[in-house]
Every structure is written in C-alpha cells, then in structure tokens.
C-alpha cells in the first residue's frame, strides 16, 4: 500500500462508514483514486461459465450498488465486477445508521436493505459501461413487492442486454423473508422465471445463484439439486452471515449481515461442501473474508473457479486487488499449477 493510499484510508475512517464509502466511490468515479492496473498472466487467465477473465479476482456486489464508478473500477485491476443489487423500483433501504466497521475484527455489518436507484437508472448506466470489462448485475426484489420472484425476472429482462452475467440474490439477510426463497420449491420456481427471462435476451448470458453461508447440510443439498435442474451457470458462495461468534467489536450486536475476516472459515467450508455436492458440474465463485492472496488461494483450492472481494478493501485499499492477483500467480507457480483451473478443488478435503 502506498503512503497516499494509506493516508486516504486513514482520512476516510474519520467519517461515518456509509459516508466514507460514498466518498470512495466518488473518488473512483472522478479518477481520483489509486489505479493499480490489471495483473494477468497465462496462469491467471481463466474462464468461468464461458466468461473470459484476465484474472480470477472479482469485485462483489454491494460495493458499487448503482454502477456509478465503472470506469474507475476498470482501472482497479479486477478480472470482473458485479454491481447492484438492483430492484425494479428505486427504494431507500433501511434507516441509517446501517453500516458498521468492526475494526478489531477486520469486518463489517450492514443492513442496507437493497437501497438502490432502480432498474431504469441502472440500465442507463450499464449502457455506457467499459466495453472490455466483464460486468455482472446482482438481481434483487423490492421490499414491498407482492411477487418477489417476478421482480428478479423483471430486472433481468430490463437490464440483461447490457451485462455480461446476472446473479440471483436470495441470500441477503436484510430484506425480511428474502432468504425463504432459498427453499427448494420456491427457489426452483424463481429460477424457472429468471431462466425464461434470459431466453428472451439477445445473448444467453450466464446466470449465477448467490447463497447464504447459514444453510445447513440439507439446505445445501437442495440448492445443489435445484441449481443443476434449473440450468444456472454457477453458484456464488457466500453472502454475509447472521453469526456473531468470536467478535470483539462494540458493534457486534448490531443487526444485519456480517462480512470480512470472521466469515472466511464458515464460507469456505460451505464452498467446499458445495463443490463436493456439485462434483465440478457447476462453476463456483468463492466469497467471504478474503483479505490476502493465501486466502484467495484457499478458496480456489476449496473449489472456487474465481473469487470476489469487498470488505477487506475497507482496511487494505484498492491495492489489495493487485496484491492478491500477483500473490495468486506466485502461489500457482510454487505449487506447480499451470492455471487457476488446474488448482481448483485440489484442497476440498481440507475443508470437509
């Protein structure tokens, strides 16, 4: 991390977390943030569900909810970027404060509640996204919707021609009863509607499913079965957790989803179990608690074809993207792997 980046992070920590996040996004939008640049190599270049990635290090949804900083993110070095979540109609989300830094735990708790500008604004911004950047959209449902399953399909229909992939987000803990859609029958019906919406798009883009880390063994088995039957292109494991075990911060009791370092072990175990259940038939993307190259590599060895970051950047800045990509390349060389794909799943037994 450069002195300039370190000073910038120190300055942002003097502000309310949500305001600081907005300031960081505006710096990216205006080209004022650090631009580490893209790290790639023959080993790092990979393909996930037909998407060609320069490296397997992606940005998780939630960082740029409204796609206002796509050109700045292009210069940050991500192999792919996911924006959103986006709902059909704009909504303000939950009352503030709704984002908390747990510095002692290198973590965060949020209860945003799908605050976003809606699909009309999102479609307008995605029309002018960087043409070479692999850009996905996280699909959501309005809090007061009478048919939440239909909301996901509606957003995909409206925005699908402007994105590289879409993610069905039924795993946020911050919209009441949203996680009920992870149940076997409800999930099958929801995904059927989304896949039908995809069939009407000019390009049959990949559709991913994002799951919670709090599913039990039966729930994971159901997800794997429904994912296979529905024809989704991949599974993102995982979203934030409701667990609070071992936290030290004074904000530990705040309601919402916990992300960051405390989530790493739990999300990686879920990822590895899912890799066993799907037997390599469905690509997996590993998310949750990744703060360095070694942890990104553990996700890959546990079954991930690619990874996504978010919370760790609050503490380590955008240079983390470059550091992880370079570190992954070094680890692949060390262990004699010629590609990310070759390393994927080689450590599943360590987590199951």
Question: Which of the following is catalytic: 145, 164, 172, 259?
Answer: 172
| Rounded distance between C-alpha atoms, residue 106 and residue 339, angstroms | 30
d(CA 266, CA 241): 9
Token digits of residue 33: 């943030």
Rounded CA-CA distance 20/275 in Å is 37
Strand partners, 58: 80, 308
| DSSP 3-state of 107 | strand
Note whether 346 and 301 are within 8 A (CB): yes
Question: Which H/E stretch holds residue 116?
Answer: none
DSSP state string for 2-17: -HHHHHHHHHHTTS-H
Domain range for 137 is 3-351
- 85: preceding bond cis by omega (within 30 degrees): yes
Residue 140, number of CB atoms within 10 A of its CB: 30
Q: Decide: 25 and 68 in contact? Cβ < 8 Å.
A: yes
The per-residue pLDDT for 177 is 67
Q: Alpha carbon of 234 to those of 4, 224, 239, 292, 314: distances in Å? A: 38, 10, 14, 24, 27
Beginning with the edge strand found earlier in the chain, give each strand of the sheet holding 107-110 in spatial order. Answer: 99-102, 107-110, 257-260
pLDDT at 235: 98
Q: What confidence score (pLDDT) does residue 12 get?
A: 85
Domain count, the chain: 1
The reported pLDDT for the residue numbered 176 is 66
pTM of the model: 0.96
Q: Which residues of the chain have pLDDT under 70?
A: 174, 176-179
Domain containing 41 — which CATH number?
A: 3.20.20.70
Res 174: pLDDT: 66
* Helix 293-301 × helix 319-334 angle, to 10°: 60
| 230 flagged as catalytic | no
């Amino acid at each position: 991390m450069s002195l300039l980046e370190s000073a910038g992070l120190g300055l942002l920590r003097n502000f309310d977390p949500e305001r600081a996040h907005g300031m960081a996004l505006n710096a990216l939008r205006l080209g004022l943030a650090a631009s580490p640049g893209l790290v790639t190599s023959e080993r790092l270049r990979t393909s996930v569900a037909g998407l060609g990635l320069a490296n397997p290090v992606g940005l998780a949804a939630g960082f740029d909810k409204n796609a206002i900083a796509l050109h700045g993110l292009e210069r940050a070095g991500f192999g792919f970027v996911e924006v959103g979540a986006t709902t059909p109609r704009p909504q303000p989300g939950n009352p503030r404060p709704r984002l908390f830094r747990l510095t002692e735990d290198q973590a965060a708790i949020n209860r945003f509640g799908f605050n976003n500008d809606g699909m009309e604004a999102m479609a307008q911004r995605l029309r002018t996204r960087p043409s070479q950047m692999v850009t996905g959209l996280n699909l959501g449902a309005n809090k007061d919707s009478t048919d939440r399953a239909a909301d996901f399909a509606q957003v995909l229909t409206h925005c699908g021609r402007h994105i590289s992939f879409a993610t069905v987000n039924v795993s946020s803990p911050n919209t009441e009863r949203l996680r009920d859609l992870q149940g076997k029958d409800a999930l099958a019906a929801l995904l059927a509607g989304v896949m039908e919406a995809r069939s009407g798009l000019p390009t049959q883009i990949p559709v991913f499913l994002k799951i919670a880390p709090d599913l039990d063994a039966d729930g994971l088995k159901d997800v794997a079965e429904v994912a296979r039957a529905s024809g989704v292109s991949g599974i993102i494991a995982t979203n934030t957790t409701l667990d609070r075990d071992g936290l030290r911060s004074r904000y530990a009791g705040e309601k919402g989803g916990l992300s960051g370092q405390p989530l790493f072990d739990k999300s990686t175990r879920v990822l590895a179990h899912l890799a066993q259940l799907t037997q390599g038939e469905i690509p997996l993307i590993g998310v949750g608690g990744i703060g360095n190259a070694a942890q990104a590599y553990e996700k890959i060895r546990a079954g991930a074809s690619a990874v996504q970051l978010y919370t760790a950047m609050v503490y380590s800045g955008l240079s983390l993207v470059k550091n992880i990509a370079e570190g992954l390349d070094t680890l692949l060389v060390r262990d004699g792997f010629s590609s990310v794909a070759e390393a994927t799943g080689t450590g599943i037994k360590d987590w199951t």
